[in-house]
Amino acid sequence: MIRLLNHPPSPVQELHAPLFAEKGIRLLVKRDDLLSLSENGGFCGNKWRKMKYNLLEARLRGQNRLLTFGGAFSNHISAVAEAGQSFGFETIGVIRGEAPASPSPTLQQAAARGMHLHYTSRSEFQRKNNPDWIAALLEQYGDCYVLPEGGTNRLALDGCRDMVEEVFEQCAGNLPHYYCVACGTGGTLAGIITGLNNTAKAIGFSVLKGGFMRDAVIQLLLDYGVAPSDNWEIQEQYHFGGYAKTTPELFVFMKTFYREYGIPLDQVYTAKLFYGLFDLIRNGYFAPGSSIMVIHTGGLQGNSKKF
């Protein structure tokens, strides 16, 4: 656990391109994808941030078993399995859908890391936040520290808030004007907003279709006890058809980005984030002189996905 708490800050890397010079902006990447205990591991990025205080809390409560929820390709399931193995927790993953004949690479790896997979019908999975169902699961598996799907809770927001403090120290005297991050549940963005204290604007890029992300983030801020301010917004037009949907154009973007900068992206979250951000830059969204911090939240374990 000390390894987790005392880990050095993730690096900040500046990207250079004629487009940025032309628009007079600076683009910095907070490489949270490099926060990892193992190479190509699932426990990195925003999962690291979101689980850090939860793992500590579980340990303080004397719990040695984690139970959580997710789909067959979930980065969160992968992260919980890896964190459990690294820090000595048993792990139970409640998985959306019946047991498949051939499990996804994410689930195979989670099982290999010792996670017990509890498959459940898609309709039952909808009850993932229902206290009666959670109580029934705990009855079956014994006392567990329960993490919600996607890992977003109050302690997760605290962990994401730490990331902003790291940036304050790393960029002291030259703080970014914008923070950009991909949104699934909105928890990472909400944590960033709580840390900003209106010193900069946060932009969340929703990877889901439906236009509900803004309300989700407002609810998370209210639950956290913070009055929603106006120093943040959601970009809704870069979901590429919805969660885990992709297009050939997105793959071309990922490949080109990797060739230019040597930074791998994942097709579910970070590729959509950078694609959207580059589009905003091209369209003159950011005033000359702006400095933008993009958060690379990891998710690379999912690159072996077959959709």
Ligand X SMILES: Cc1ncc(COP(=O)(O)O)c(C=O)c1O
Q: Which is nearer to ligand X, 76 or 128 (CB)?
A: 76
Q: Which is nearer to ligand X, 45 or 93 (CB)?
A: 45
Tokens describing residue 13 = 């890397």
Shortest reach from residue 264's CB to ligand X, in Å: 12
Q: Which of 91, 109, 152, 290 binds ligand X (CB under 6 A)?
A: 152
Shortest reach from residue 14's CB to ligand X, in Å: 21
Q: Which is nearer to ligand X, 23 or 254 (CB)?
A: 254
Shortest reach from residue 85's CB to ligand X, in Å: 19
Total number of residues binding ligand X (CB under 6 A)? 18
The SS3 of residue 143 is: coil
Shortest reach from residue 188's CB to ligand X, in Å: 4
CA–CA gap between residue 179 and residue 196 (Å, rounded) = 9
Shortest reach from residue 298's CB to ligand X, in Å: 5
Q: Which is nearer to ligand X, 206 or 290 (CB)?
A: 206
- 230 CB burial (10 A radius; 0-12, 13-18, 19+): exposed
Which of 70, 46, 57 has the alpha carbon at shortest distance from 1?
57
Q: Which of 54, 109, 194, 297 binds ligand X (CB under 6 A)?
A: 297
CA–CA gap between residue 213 and residue 144 (Å, rounded) = 30
Q: Which of 41, 42, 45, 70 binds ligand X (CB under 6 A)?
A: 45
Shortest reach from residue 36's CB to ligand X, in Å: 12
**Cβ partners under 8 Å of residue 105, min gap 6:** 304, 305
- Are 285 and 33 contacting, i.e. CB atoms less than 8 angstroms apart? no
Shortest reach from residue 233's CB to ligand X, in Å: 15
CA–CA gap between residue 47 and residue 58 (Å, rounded) = 16
- Chain residues 156-195 in contact with ligand X, contact rule CB under 6 A: 182-188
Mask 219-258, x = binds ligand X (CB under 6 A)? ----------------------------------------
> How many angstroms from the chain centroid is the CA of residue 198?
22
- Are 69 and 125 contacting, i.e. CB atoms less than 8 angstroms apart? yes
**Is position 269 an interface residue for ligand X (rule: CB under 6 A)?**
yes
Which segments of the chain does DSSP mark as H helices, in order?
Answer: 2-5, 18-23, 45-60, 75-87, 105-112, 122-125, 131-141, 154-170, 187-196, 213-224, 248-261, 270-282
- Chain residues 93-132 in contact with ligand X, contact rule CB under 6 A: none
Residue type, 21: A
For the chain, what's the residue count? 307
Which single residue brings its beta carbon nearest to ligand X? 299
The binding site for ligand X (CB under 6 A) comprises 45-46, 75-76, 150, 152, 182-188, 266, 269, 297-299
